[in-house]
Structure 1
């Protein structure tokens, strides 16, 4: 490769300008006795978006953290702008123009959005009025509706990634690693992130974009890298691949199983209602929703982040304070005011929001997978039975770790998600409310989880999937309710339209301006 001859100076360090912003050569990483990265070599050029995909536990996040200086390697070299730099130091990486937006982002909740965008930059000490004006311009360019004066503590955590993306725009980082930043975002929010990525590369920067959303990776990136079992098995242009091709490369198989179909919706009034709710209200958020869930079906609910869709899922299971004119379960009037009330009705709730999962990362896999049957007072036989159940669940979920003694915090993000979902899928619930269940799961894990849920539904259970992911809703649900401004405005049946049309309909529902187009519509009924 040819190298330019000019010199660049950044933060007191002189670089030779190279046509490779980032060069990784022979990178390996051992964790205890396991090799998690093996002889990985690739480069990122100026103005290039490189997607990085792979199964849960393939080493994607580890690779990103090594590049960004937050984790050490066992062998290999990394160069930025033609100069090799020592790793295991975020400051060293940042001084050489490498930045990372991680899956888990912590921001001081007392900062305003404007202060968060400029924190850690040379502008952070400027007067707040100056920061807010510039932040307002950046947020407007991104299409975000956040106020620069809003406190971070009042911003939904999934949007932290977008705030970090805005921060990168104000910085001088030449290589940006984005680790599953789009995972918690709905379609409209993901579009905002994609615009930031495109703006970065138009400025001549390079982006390493880690994602489990294969269509997203193919649509956004110029080139894709595939990690499988710690090794880089493919590097090439995205234009040459389909999502199925990419899945086969990830899985190492010539055939990817078709997604399990969602159960058919009940025909007319022939289905048996499991849950019938009328005039459901959450103060200030949900303004009177009627909802019927039939026995043996999976329905979806979707909407923008402030539409009330998440509160509806929480209200059904006693997670949020709500009221309803009627709340009928199996034909009997009931009341759900607390999670304990929901549990008594055999209703369960799961959220993909990691901060809301309630599991201690230091807790073992075995204890996290058991809702009951293993306590400090349990006898020997009960403990053995519980462990046998855990082993069976681990086999069904195909966890990368084969040790139930390992802590949840040691697992990949996807495996941790599966561990926390396991009790709901395998325990005997009549209704499961799943908030973003496949967030962070690879394509094989998503299909596998969908099969397990369908098996449960075929046995008489029902499920409500609350999500902003078009693929998740289209392949899991027989019908999808659109929530706008606290009202249920319409039902969409995915099988009656193409995937592209379905995604277009959802994108409109996820966009804040969608509220205006629905204001004159009558609320939908089940």
Structure 2
């Protein structure tokens, strides 16, 4: 990569020698690259490679220990996101930062009232941006009524409203179906055509190659390559990221037995207003089987998991674990009976972020060894088993006394998987088990799930990654508006067919 831009191209962002350290961890080390104005520049790397720290530095959330940042040819010092916004830098976070009970207009204007007020001028500007970039958003619609793809466009509209010409997108396709990804990419290409510069962070390497003009690879805190998409395959990128070629998900030979481990029969769940969020759900999962659930977020997946775990009680129907009717059982009793859970939000429901790893080993398993001995917590047993999990599941941490917060997302997820597998479950609920993790951690989690499946584990897999669902599942059911609307054979279905069923545009196989 040239250290200076050619006369024909202008540099929007240049970082040189960026370094950032935290106690015991070097997050960034001599990161150097340039981004041309009016291009889509992808940034890829493993969890813990330093991408998030670098983006926080570019958005003013953190300050580098060393190195320089240039924006539009001017060396800048960013002390806060306000400084970044003033320089025309905006960021769209992976987890949407929207108020569901506010309208599109209210969400966009919130915190930026000084720009165009809160009345007609603001409405006109929101409409102008929406129409100019083909977003098709109604300023008066409540965000809670929008689909995931539309919410993504609201987030992009927010940064455009604030005048951003350089936009950082963190995992923007993580929860989108293929058709929504296509729509997003059309929007991004429109922004690029208007002269915007886009920094695209993703673990989906095929998508990176489809949308990016240039790709920078970060490994262990430093830049290791800058490549053109046409010059590399997804496998090549994976090798640059982690140093080795990685497997794809595969169901291998069927291990499904005739032993039923979970039965849902006519399950209907209602919210506080009496509206059915799950309607007449029925299926079985056998030992050695992975049943995949596909669906756009917000169509009942969370309620399905909470109902099986015991956090929600069905208004109608029954649940059996093996031969036992567990419909009235508490969550604690269900966990003790062998239900393991990889939660969809590891920070809110899977970890005590400020507790050390060995204490997190006990979380959810505080009623049986090795976490307890008699009526008491077994500190020694928990520590020894945490050491085993860290080794077996390749959780990269300085110590089991390190807090969960200090680990990268991929290592947090591998730890949770290891903990839930260690409870010798008869049923594992995996809610988005590889969301937001890099290709290395993803492959490791797939391997552990396949191995457990071969040993007779029954798995309920909920995922927004359609390749993951197709690659790991024995059967796929589609959940739409709280109802199962299709059953598909992973051996024959395509991601496009699943996407159509998930959005109501297609039927069951």
Over residues 191-235 of structure 1, what are the superposed CA-to-partner deviations in whole Å (9 max), with x where a residue is unaligned? 444343223212111111111121221122111111111121110
After TM superposition, list the pairs within 5 Å mapping 1:382-393 onto structure 2. 382-393=378-389
Counterpart check, 1:271 vs 2:262: no
Q: State the alpha-carbon separation in 1 of the partners of residues 136 and 261 from structure 2.
A: 39
When the two structures are aligned, how many residues end up with a matched partner?
494
Counterpart check, 1:507 vs 2:503: no
Look up the match of 1:113.
Answer: 104
Deviation at 1:97, TM superposition (A): 1.6
Counterpart check, 1:256 vs 2:246: yes
- Decide which moves more: 30-39 or 428-437: 30-39
After TM superposition, list the pairs within 5 Å mapping 1:16-415 onto structure 2. 19-103=10-94, 106-107=97-98, 111-121=102-112, 126-128=117-119, 131=122, 135=126, 148-150=140-142, 162-253=153-244, 255-259=245-249, 261=251, 264=254, 266=256, 271-283=258-270, 284-336=276-328, 338-354=330-346, 356-357=348-349, 359-370=351-362, 371-372=365-366, 373-374=370-371, 382-415=378-411
* Residues 137 and 150, structure 2, Cα contact 8 Å, conserved in 1: no
Q: State the alpha-carbon separation in 1 of the partners of residues 26 and 140 from structure 2.
A: 44
Q: State the alpha-carbon separation in 2 of the partners of residues 421 and 192 from structure 1.
A: 33
CA distance 1:407–1:196, change in 2 (3 Å): farther
**What SS is found at the alignment partner of 2:400?**
coil
Which runs of 5 or more structure 1 residues have no equivalent in the other structure? 5-17
* Residues 260 and 447, structure 1, Cα contact 8 Å, conserved in 2: no
Scaled by the length of structure 1, the TM-score of the pair is 0.84
**What SS is found at the alignment partner of 1:311?**
helix
CA distance 1:127–1:337, change in 2 (3 Å): farther
Counterpart check, 1:436 vs 2:432: yes
Which runs of 5 or more structure 2 residues have no equivalent in the other structure? 271-275
**What SS is found at the alignment partner of 1:348?**
strand
* Residues 85 and 92, structure 1, Cα contact 8 Å, conserved in 2: no
Q: State the alpha-carbon separation in 2 of the partners of residues 256 and 313 from structure 1.
A: 30
Q: State the alpha-carbon separation in 2 of the partners of residues 292 and 122 from structure 1.
A: 52
Q: State the alpha-carbon separation in 2 of the partners of residues 138 and 345 from structure 1.
A: 54
Look up the match of 2:273.
Answer: none
Q: State the alpha-carbon separation in 2 of the partners of residues 84 and 401 from structure 1.
A: 35
Q: State the alpha-carbon separation in 2 of the partners of residues 353 and 137 from structure 1.
A: 35
* Residues 224 and 236, structure 1, Cα contact 8 Å, conserved in 2: yes
CA distance 1:128–1:418, change in 2 (3 Å): farther
- Decide which moves more: 419-428 or 70-79: 419-428
CA distance 1:90–1:143, change in 2 (3 Å): closer
* Residues 348 and 429, structure 1, Cα contact 8 Å, conserved in 2: yes
* Residues 43 and 51, structure 2, Cα contact 8 Å, conserved in 1: yes
CA distance 1:222–1:19, change in 2 (3 Å): same
**What SS is found at the alignment partner of 1:285?**
strand
The alignment's C-alpha RMSD in Å is 3.1
Q: State the alpha-carbon separation in 2 of the partners of residues 96 and 43 from structure 1.
A: 17
Deviation at 1:377, TM superposition (A): 9.4
CA distance 1:38–1:455, change in 2 (3 Å): same
Deviation at 1:74, TM superposition (A): 1.9
Over residues 7-51 of structure 1, what are the superposed CA-to-partner deviations in whole Å (9 max), with x where a residue is unaligned? xxxxxxxxxxx7111111122222235432222111111221111
* Residues 142 and 192, structure 1, Cα contact 8 Å, conserved in 2: no
* Residues 94 and 173, structure 1, Cα contact 8 Å, conserved in 2: yes
Scaled by the length of structure 2, the TM-score of the pair is 0.87
